[in-house]
Amino acid sequence: MISTRSTIVGTDAVADAARAIHHEIYLGPDGEAVEPFISRTTTWQHLRTLDLRPNMRVLEVGTGSGYSAAIMGHIVGQGGHVLTIDSDAALSARTRRLFVEHGHRAIAATGNGLVGFPGRAPYDRISVAATPPAIPGAWIDQLSRGGVLVTGCTVSDLPGAYAVAHIVKTPTDDLHATVHASRYRQMGPPVVPSNVTVVADPDYPRHYLASASDDYEAATEFLTLLRAGTPAPWPGAPGEFLDLKHWLLARRPRGLFTARTEHGEGIGIGDKAATSFGLAARHGGSPEAVMITPTHLVAHPQGSPTWARFLDLMDDWRAEGSRATHELDAVVLRYGDSYRVRLDD
């Protein structure tokens, strides 16, 4: 059974709406959560980033329990409009019934959320508490000028580079983005671009390493090293990992990779040691790899030049004030019929 004891903090519109809309209404039988489940705390945080106001028109992609749409409907009021769309017809029907039974101001529709809901566009706010493979152009097209889209996103071609984007559409149709260190569930399987090399451990398929290099052999060697490395405790403060990870994705140092091993999911760099004649790795140097995870720093061999270079990168991040993800520059790039958010150093 889901606890109903989350504390509502604040006197803003979201807090006031949360006090008015009883969460337990939207739980399933026996008080169980409706899948996909998002905690109330995460829901409130997400809704606050939308900066909802009375009389706004809102599209929500992914209905879930219907709780967040009910909250939004309370905030925008009688002069506003909230439509939540989901591909699950049964979920939409359940939510529609609850809205009617309890007089909550929202509409539940069934459909493909990736194409939005053009019949009621444009929208002042579009809310997506999930991560699409790429941001559909339909969402941007249906966003009003001055409107805000909040959605999960990827900020790199490398797997595992998840974040949440706050995108504003200007009066001239430009797109300005701020990225936050959070992560939402994926909408469908991840798509790995052809410019990324991914290797997996044949004995443990969930363990992988992904690099922007086309050197498959080197990537395989780096993954082997990481699995053999001795983990040391993560040298940073709790909660800093995602900010450092996103800073590295923005900086894009030589040999950057993302990986998952038994030590966790992380980010690191790999390189080849110079030979005694100072020749580059591909001419005979031995491989070196180092990775940081939320709990560990893994390097092999310990004390290598690559290990030292990674520590220098961490020092650079510290020297910049341990920049948080939302302090990094972000750009929204169009790729055909979709958009991608990328961090820029």
Contact call for residues 107 and 120 (beta carbons, < 8 A): no
Residues 6+ away with beta carbon under 8 Å from 187: 62, 113, 114, 130, 131, 132, 133
* CATH C-level class of 13-180: alpha beta
DSSP class per residue in 14-55: HHHHHHHS-GGGG--GGGPPPSSP--HHHHHHHHHHHT--TT
Query: pLDDT tens per residue, the chain (345 residues)?
Result: 333 445 655 668 999 999 999 988 888 665 555 666 678 888 989 999 999 999 999 999 999 999 999 999 999 999 999 999 999 999 999 999 999 999 999 999 999 999 999 999 999 999 999 999 999 999 999 999 999 999 999 999 999 999 999 999 999 999 999 999 999 999 988 788 889 999 998 888 899 999 999 999 999 999 999 999 989 998 888 789 999 999 999 999 999 999 999 999 999 999 997 654 444 444 458 999 999 999 999 999 999 999 999 999 999 999 999 999 999 999 999 999 999 999 987
Strand locations in the chain (E): 57-61, 81-86, 107-110, 123-128, 135-136, 143-154, 162-169, 175-180, 197-201, 204-211, 230-233, 256-261, 264-272, 287-292, 296-300, 329-335, 338-344
Helices (H), 6-158: 13-20, 40-50, 67-76, 89-102, 137-141
Residues 6+ away with beta carbon under 8 Å from 61: 84, 85, 113, 114, 116, 126, 127, 128, 130, 139, 151
DSSP one-letter code for 104: -
β-strand pairing of 162-169 with 143-154: antiparallel
Residue range(s) of every CATH 3.40.50.150 domain in the chain: 13-180
Contact call for residues 132 and 152 (beta carbons, < 8 A): yes
The pLDDT of residue 282: 44
Contact call for residues 109 and 131 (beta carbons, < 8 A): no
Please state the separation of Cα 148 from the chain's center in Å.
17
Q: What is the largest CA-CA distance in the chain?
A: 78
Residues 6+ away with beta carbon under 8 Å from 91: 34, 63, 64
* Total-model pTM: 0.90
